Amino acid sequence: MSLRSLLRKARLPVAVGLLGTTILVPGPAPAQEEVADALRRYKDREVSTGFYEEYEVKPRRMRPFIKSPREAPPQRPFPLSSTAAVVRNRTYLADSHAGIQFYARRRCEECHVTEATHSHTVRGNVTCRQCHGGEPIAGINYYYSPMNPIRRHSYVCAKCHEGANASFATFLVHEPPAGAPQTRKVFPSFYYANWFMYLLIVGTLGFFGLHTLIWMGKESYHAIKEKMEPEPEAKAEEEPIKEPEPKPEAGAGPKEEPAGGQENE
């Protein structure tokens, strides 16, 4: 039985099946997601947002199980320097810029140079403060910060991305440089995906670029050579109408004459 006749025969059952599925299986409603569990009821929402109805509740001791690539290099037993130690601790402060001199007169991107060029700012025209909040800007790990991963999705992401959940919030807006060695530790899959694509691009373009380059060089070499010394074969090539060569029929590969019509690849 050919595939075509099989498809023709299966037309009706497939159509009925699709129709039945569409009618019988209810579509997911966004609002059901958090409440769907009859046993846990609002627990998911409570755990992930710290909110139960309008009261803010303390999340449980454990951070909800949000697996995300670490945004900072892994902690060392001892800080590299006293400054580094201060910088790291600042992510836990209620006012992460406390004590910085002339802070009122400085702009975010003066210090956060690489953080200022990312897709949300460049494309979406989002400002730093729209996500990180107004003064005093809380560190992202500060317990009550809206940027804290336990509630980031509902306080920050969902402002624009309706329905954002904790998983959505693990998207890295400030990506680490994909090819850099330290990224292998913070976000390995990103690092390996980047190098895979890099090697694929360089390999493909390198191989076929070289292939094309040599090919074109070879062809122009033959073209110039034939122009310099017009041989009988070259003339035959220019007027192919008058000389239909019946030769290649005899043997599959008319390979014996390197200066023949073969350069006309």
Q: Contact positions toward another protein, by CB under 8 A?
A: 2-4, 33, 67-69, 117, 122-123, 161-165, 167-172, 175, 177-178, 187, 189-190, 193-194, 197-198, 200-201, 204-205, 208-209, 211-212, 214-216, 218-220, 222-223, 240-241, 244-245, 248-249, 252-256, 258, 261-265
Q: 108 vs 178, which CB is nearer to another protein?
A: 178
Tokens (6 digits) for 77: 């037993």
Q: 99 vs 253, which CB is nearer to another protein?
A: 253
> Min. distance of Cβ 182 from another protein in angstroms?
14
> Min. distance of Cβ 239 from another protein in angstroms?
11
> Min. distance of Cβ 41 from another protein in angstroms?
19
Q: 57 vs 216, which CB is nearer to another protein?
A: 216
Three-class SS of the chain: CCHHHHHHHCHHHHHHHHHHHHHHCCCCCHHHCCCCCCCCCCHHHHHHHCEECCEECCCCCCCCCCCCCCCCCCCCCCCCCHHHHHHHHHCCCCCCCCCCCCHHHCCHHHHCCHHHCCHHHHCCCCCHHHHHCCCCCCCCCCCCCCCCCCCHHHHCHHHCCCCCCCCHHHCCCCCCCCCCCCHHHHCHHHHHHHHHHHHHHHHHHHHHHHHHHHHHHHHHHHHHHHHHCCCHHHHHHHCCCCCCCCHHHCCCCCCCCCCCHHHCC
Q: 115 vs 263, which CB is nearer to another protein?
A: 263
> Min. distance of Cβ 115 from another protein in angstroms?
14
> Min. distance of Cβ 53 from another protein in angstroms?
23
Q: 128 vs 178, which CB is nearer to another protein?
A: 178
> Min. distance of Cβ 237 from another protein in angstroms?
8
Q: 54 vs 238, which CB is nearer to another protein?
A: 238
